[in-house]
């Protein structure tokens, strides 16, 4: 069974929510090894020095879901996923900045 088959539902969690390794695996219905692989590839960036001490922001859940879709639907490897997610994050940041500039111009 692919990762996307296991990640079928979930809640949208924000940056303020904190999850440990066990909780994120439970939320996503995946094995800990898969989350460890995502951390090793730079897709997820928990706080903490070791898996038993890791704490993930709630946004890691949606990031893992996107990862599963990219890997399963488009057959992107983990290095590619990390790059795609970083580019999407940068795009969102630039869009927010553009909105701020547009608001300044309108004032």
Q: What is the pLDDT of residues 12-41, one digit of tens each?
A: 555 678 999 999 999 999 999 999 999 999
* Phi, psi for 49 (deg, rounded to 5): -90, -20
Residue 30: Cβ-neighbour burial (10 angstroms; 0-12, 13-18, 19+): middle
- Here the CATH number for the domain that contains residue 77 is 1.10.1660.10
The model's confidence at residue 56, banded by pLDDT at 50, 70 and 90, is: very high
Q: How far is CA 41 from the centre of its chain?
A: 12
pLDDT > 80? residue 2: no
Mean pLDDT on 38-66: 94
| Residue span of the structural domain in which 16 resides | 3-106
Number of domains in the chain: 1
47 bridge partner residues:
55
pLDDT > 70? residue 92: yes
Of 12-16, 74-78, 85-89, the least confident: 12-16
């Amino acid at each position: 069974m692919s990762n996307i088959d296991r990640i079928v539902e979930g809640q949208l969690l924000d940056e303020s929510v904190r999850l440990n390794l066990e909780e994120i695996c439970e939320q996503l219905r995946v094995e800990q090894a898969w989350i460890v692989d995502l951390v090793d590839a730079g897709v997820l960036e928990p706080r903490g020095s070791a898996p038993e001490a890791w704490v993930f922001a709630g946004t890691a859940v949606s990031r893992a879901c996107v990862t599963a879709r990219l890997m399963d639907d488009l057959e992107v490897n983990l290095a590619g996923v990390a790059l795609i997610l970083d580019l999407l994050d940068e795009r969102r940041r630039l869009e927010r900045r553009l909105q701020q500039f547009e608001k300044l111009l309108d004032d």
